């Protein structure tokens, strides 16, 4: 029986337009109406994750930054996991040696040393996703993030550590040269205090080893008195593996990487086909005897 559901966002709950489809909204509401909590588990920062949800009437807890920050339905912070100076230096030394660009995620926002590199990255991601990258639109989006303070430009990342009350929770690295990414991944993964994952081809998401989606989901389940064998998790990329490998009902999107599909007991439809809704309706009917009949 399923008693708790967790879903990733990008490539999973969200379609290519970064929207939650009506089918997915209905599926989440259906689960909630039947007493089954639904948690969003994402590599995004909270202010990026909450945007698409705000466009719906959904109220959900959030596992953000791959588990480095957990918030309840009222957006109150329940837990954070940070990177100390020693770990930061280790990460930066590896990335700088390979000349790999990265952003720094903190409790105050996302930092960049070079907004133009951000533009290149988002354009390249759009191309790899098979989307036509509208440079003017992407540039305007980056500028909007700078203007509203969610993307902060600094001359040097060293400035961040001197800000009172600021904690660094994640570094997001990106390079089109996959050999460089693989080398950095191998070196960083040698540290037992770091968790290195990926949310798309060519990137690395680096957090403290305590900050993983699966660990955070396990803590939420424990607080609710739910055994992980009764938890369903849905994802598409490697940063979802820590939760898929821990739950009783691991689900992969049809657009997921092969490693994620191999970890799943069910492969659902793609994110463009409301695969989250398909999986929720299917498993709640099979495992809980709940049949969605719509309005």
Residues carrying an active site annotation: 8
What the block records as the tokens of 130 is 């098979």
Q: Angle at the Cα of 276 (from 274 to 280), degrees rounded to 5? A: 125
CB 224 within 8 A of CB 5: no
Neighbours of 139 (CB within 10 A): 16
For residue 116, report the phi and psi dihedrals to the nearest 5 degrees. -65, -35
Instruction: Give the three-class secondary structure for 217.
Output: helix
E strands, the chain, in order: 4-7, 38-41, 62-64, 69-71, 77-80, 101-106, 109-112, 151-153, 168-174, 194-197, 203-208, 231-235, 249-252, 266-267
CB 219 within 8 A of CB 226: no
DSSP string, 135-184: HHHHHHHHHHHHHTTSEEE-S-GGGGGGSTT--EEEEEEE-S-HHHHHHH
Nearest to 145 by CA among 51, 17, 14, 59: 51
Q: Output DSSP code: residue 220.
A: H
Distance CA 228, CA 232 (A): 8
What the block records as the tokens of 108 is 């105050």
What the block records as the tokens of 72 is 């309840």
């Amino acid at each position: 029986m399923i008693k708790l559901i967790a879903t990733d966002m990008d490539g999973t709950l969200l379609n290519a337009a970064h929207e939650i489809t009506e089918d997915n909204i209905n599926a989440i509401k259906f689960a909630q109406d039947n007493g089954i909590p639904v948690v969003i588990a994402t590599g995004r920062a909270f202010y990026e994750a909450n945007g698409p949800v705000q466009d719906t009437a959904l109220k959900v807890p959030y596992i953000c930054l791959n588990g480095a920050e957990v918030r309840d339905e009222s957006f109150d912070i329940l837990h954070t996991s940070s990177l100390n100076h020693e770990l930061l230096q280790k990460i930066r030394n590896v990335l700088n040696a390979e000349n790999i660009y990265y952003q720094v995620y903190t409790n105050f926002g996302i930092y960049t040393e070079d907004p133009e590199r951000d533009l290149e990255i988002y354009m390249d991601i759009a191309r790899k996703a098979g989307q036509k990258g509208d440079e003017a639109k992407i540039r305007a989006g980056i500028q909007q993030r700078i203007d509203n303070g969610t993307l902060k430009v600094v001359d040097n990342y060293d400035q961040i550590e001197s800000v009172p009350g600021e904690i660094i929770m994640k570094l997001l690295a990106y390079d089109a040269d996959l050999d460089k990414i693989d080398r950095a991944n191998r070196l960083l993964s040698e540290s037992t205090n770091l968790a290195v994952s990926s949310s798309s081809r060519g990137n690395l998401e680096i957090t403290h080893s305590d900050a993983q989606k699966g660990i955070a989901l396990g803590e939420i389940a424990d607080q609710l008195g739910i055994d992980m064998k009764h938890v369903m998790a849905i994802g598409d990329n490697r940063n979802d593996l820590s939760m898929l490998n821990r739950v009783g009902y691991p689900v992969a999107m049809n657009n997921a990487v092969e490693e994620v599909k191999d970890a799943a007991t069910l492969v659902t439809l793609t994110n463009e086909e409301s695969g989250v809704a398909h999986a929720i309706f299917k498993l709640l009917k099979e495992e809980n005897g709940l049949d969605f009949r719509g309005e």
